[in-house]
Amino acid sequence: MKKFLRKLFSKHENVRAYALLSPALILVILAMASPLLLMLVTSFHTQVSMMEIDSTLTLDRYADFFSKPVYPTLLFRSIKISFLVTLVTLLTTYPLAYYIAFYVKKNKMLWIVLMTLPFWTSYLLRVFSWRVILGHKGVINSALMFSGAIDEPLSFLIYSQTAVVLTLAHAWAAFAILPLYVSLDKIDKSLLEASYDLGCSKFQTFWRVTFPLSLPGVIGAILIIFIPTVGDYVTPQLVGGTDGRMLSNMIQSLFGRANNFPLGAASAVMMLLSVSFVALIVTYITKKVSLRMS
Amino acid sequence: MGDKEFIKISNVSKNFDEVTAVDNVSVNIAKGEFFSLLGPSGCGKTTLLRILAGFEYPSKGFVSIDNSDVTDIPANLRPTNMVFQNYAIFPHINVKRNIEFGLRKEKISSEEMNQRVNDALKMVKLEGYENRFSNQLSGGQRQRIALARALVKRPKVLLLDEPLGALDKKLREEMQIELRNLQRSVGITFVFVTHDQEEAMTMSDRVAVMNQGKILQVSPPKELYDFPENLFVGDFIGDINLLESQISSINGKKVKVLINALGEYELDSHTVITQNDNVVTGIRPKSISISSNETNQSDIQVKGKITNTSFYGNLTYVYVSVEGIEKPLMLSTAESLQGLSVNSDCYLTISLKDIRIIKKN
């Protein structure tokens, strides 16, 4: 037996590869693929009563999803909010990553650790701290009222889409900095010198060389932020109000109080499909645009 | 005079924190010249090139190119282009767009741009490679693309930072000849940095030997080899036998020198030498001849014993130990050794005109 195994492992490279992969593979199948499949199957079922689900396959739940305007509206809003979150995060973290990669000479790792320091606290705590900052009697409103700039609290600060975008952008910043920093730091400095040498200013060099070469990091950051934030339901729940409600909040209630598992599953599938679609489009456009620029 | 002082480097120094990379260097480079900066790593040659390119600004001194002061002009506004040591081909765009890169800045029609890119590719013999990417090219091809990308800008000066260092020996020798021919045909001033003395000698019109931030000698290659002005240059360029010596007396160009183990002779000096200079005398291996018996037709004859021989195809190097001289003398001969072998006694003959007086500092 031992001899057989040894022969098997030494002779066939793919056997070895699968053996190495198997722990992760098993986990992925058990914890991701099968629940996903289960959700997909459930989306073709019908909730008959409180405890009873009719398992005849039907597309009616998808029809329900599209016939009630609230679902597409919420889906669209989810995508819009995530898109804004991604944009705000990129615009704020790219300069930071750029600074560390090109201007910090010593202790780069320390800078990275310092940047991620706020993210060592709980996600919930960070969301709550934004309530303290943005709330009606929060830091910003109190300060503005005290200084006499406004007479009553700014209402768009909390329980709004603005609040959701701000909070999510802050929550995901650390995840954007790392891929951006890695791709910027990897850029060969002599390429930048070659660009100056060929007559480009610093600004032109950034758009023609640095930015296109940092694209893998930018696309990585986009995917890392966009995909999970579309499905986030904690932040909209805590700072979003009615205006900031997202599709994920609806799905949560469909699996909870509203008790319509099949419709919840169908909504989740729709979300999954649209997120994948949007992520692909964004990646494609980013690539095209940057090639055109250089 | 303008042509002889096409590039004028005046009293240029560059300090990095405590380190002086370039130490009060002044040199003029003529228009259309192939000029090499030669020296060991860390001698300041690359820093000097980067000062010419505008990547570094001198701490002291001035640089002018074609009669205009460029000391404070940034790299992107200078009439120079550079071929980088690692070629620095942009990996995200293809060969054609790499070569066009610098032309996009110039206001020229797309027909002219295409024409110039095609001419540049033809010049480096890489037509048909327009759509390749950097990772699909060999080292030699990348080197040519870097050359084409710089030359397509029609710079007044082309700066080359050890561009052949990463190529294998055969390709390097090919590229040396090609580069030299290219320089003659385009007539652009080349400033070439290398640590390889053979490379500098075969390609350049003039070579500046640098050490510890200073230029020690600027001469055409043959002169550099035949008449080194100081010990570093003599030792760095080619092989040389160095003998401890003392100046006895000086009479104009005639200098009487006491050479260790050989005796006192009157030699011609080729540089300014004063009584107080510490000197050695140097003899190139090709200037010593060897035979198995005494002759009386030569200025100097010494007896020795062969300690080693090495065969290099067209030449044989022979090492001969001579009484009173610490290191065996090295000589090269193109002829067969006729019965001489390791451990045999032999006679070495040297003509006085081949002995150089070299200052120690």
pLDDT at A141 over 80: yes
Name the pairing type of β-strands B34-38 and B254-259. Answer: unpaired
A134/A116 Cα distance (integer angstroms): 22
Segment A51-54 long-range contacts (CB within 8 Å, at least 24 positions apart): A53/A261, A53/A262
Cβ–Cβ < 8 Å for B188, B110: no
Q: Cβ of A195 under 8 Å from any chain B Cβ? A: yes
pLDDT in tens, B53-110: 999 999 999 999 999 999 999 999 999 999 999 999 999 999 999 999 999 888 889 9
pLDDT at B152 over 70: yes
pTM over 0.90: no
Contact B90 A209 (CB under 8 A): yes
Query: What is the CATH architecture assignment of B7-231?
Result: 3-Layer(aba) Sandwich (3.40)
With pLDDT > 90 as the criterion, what percentage of chain B qualifies?
64
Contacts of B101 in chain A (CB under 8 A): 195, 198, 200, 208
With pLDDT > 90 as the criterion, what percentage of chain A qualifies?
56
Domain spans in chain A, listed from the N-terminal domain onward: 69-293
Cβ–Cβ < 8 Å for B149, B101: yes
CA distance to A148, A167, A172, B199, per residue, from A145 (Å): 5, 23, 30, 76
CA Rg, chain A, in Å?
24
* Per-residue confidence (pLDDT) for residue A285, from 0 to 100: 86
A177/chain B closest Cα distance in angstroms: 22
Task: Please give the mean pLDDT across all residues of chain B.
Answer: 91
> A-B interface: how many C-beta pairs under 8 angstroms?
68
Cβ–Cβ < 8 Å for B266, B281: no
With pLDDT > 70 as the criterion, what percentage of chain A qualifies?
99
A213 to chain B: closest CA residue? B92
Q: CA-based diameter of chain A, in Å?
A: 84
Give the mean model confidence (pLDDT) for residues A146-170.
88
Which residues lie across from B64 on neighbouring strands?
B8, B69
Contact B74 A196 (CB under 8 A): yes
Domain spans in chain B, listed from the N-terminal domain onward: 7-231, 239-359
Give the DSSP H or E segment for B147. helix B139-151
Q: What is the ipTM of this complex?
A: 0.85
* Per-residue confidence (pLDDT) for residue B339, from 0 to 100: 75
Distance of CA A152 to the CA centre of its chain: 34
Give the residue carrying structure tokens 């020996």: B169
- Nearest Cα residue to B96 out of B139, B126, B140: B126
With pLDDT > 70 as the criterion, what percentage of chain B qualifies?
99
Cβ–Cβ < 8 Å for B84, A190: yes
Give B 85-114 residues with CB within 8 A of chain A: 85-86, 88, 90-93, 97, 101-102, 105-106
Least-confidence region, from A190-194, B128-132, B275-279: B275-279
> What confidence category does residue B361 fall into, taking pLDDT thresholds of 50, 70 and 90?
confident
pLDDT at A181 over 70: yes
* Per-residue confidence (pLDDT) for residue A273, from 0 to 100: 94
Q: Cβ of B133 under 8 Å from any chain A Cβ? A: no
* Per-residue confidence (pLDDT) for residue B1, from 0 to 100: 42
* Per-residue confidence (pLDDT) for residue A149, from 0 to 100: 84
- Nearest Cα residue to B330 out of B320, B340, B322: B320
The token pair that represents A209 in the structure block: 């060389």
Contact B76 A213 (CB under 8 A): no
**In degrees, to the nearest 5, what angle opens at C-alpha A229 toward C-alphas A225 and A233?**
160
> What confidence category does residue A294 fall into, taking pLDDT thresholds of 50, 70 and 90?
low
pLDDT at A268 over 60: yes
Cβ–Cβ < 8 Å for B289, B354: no
Give the mean model confidence (pLDDT) for residues A210-238.
91
Instruction: Please give the residue that has the higher pLDDT: either B273 or B98.
Output: B98
pLDDT in tens, B160-189: 999 988 788 888 888 899 899 999 998 899
Give the residue carrying structure tokens 């001198």: B58
- The torsion angles phi and psi of B307, rounded to 5 degrees, stand at -100, -25
pLDDT at B114 over 80: yes
pLDDT at B263 over 50: yes
* Per-residue confidence (pLDDT) for residue A23, from 0 to 100: 92
Q: Cβ of A190 under 8 Å from any chain B Cβ? A: yes
- The torsion angles phi and psi of B114, rounded to 5 degrees, stand at -60, -40
Which residues lie across from B258 on neighbouring strands?
B246, B264
B207/B191 Cα distance (integer angstroms): 10
* Per-residue confidence (pLDDT) for residue B115, from 0 to 100: 94
Q: Cβ of A208 under 8 Å from any chain B Cβ? A: yes
Instruction: Say whether A51 sits in a helix, a strand or coil.
Output: coil
CA atoms lying within 13 Å on the CB side of residue A9: 9
Query: What is the CATH architecture assignment of A69-293?
Result: Orthogonal Bundle (1.10)
- According to CATH, the superfamily of the domain at B239-359 is Nucleic acid-binding proteins (2.40.50.140)
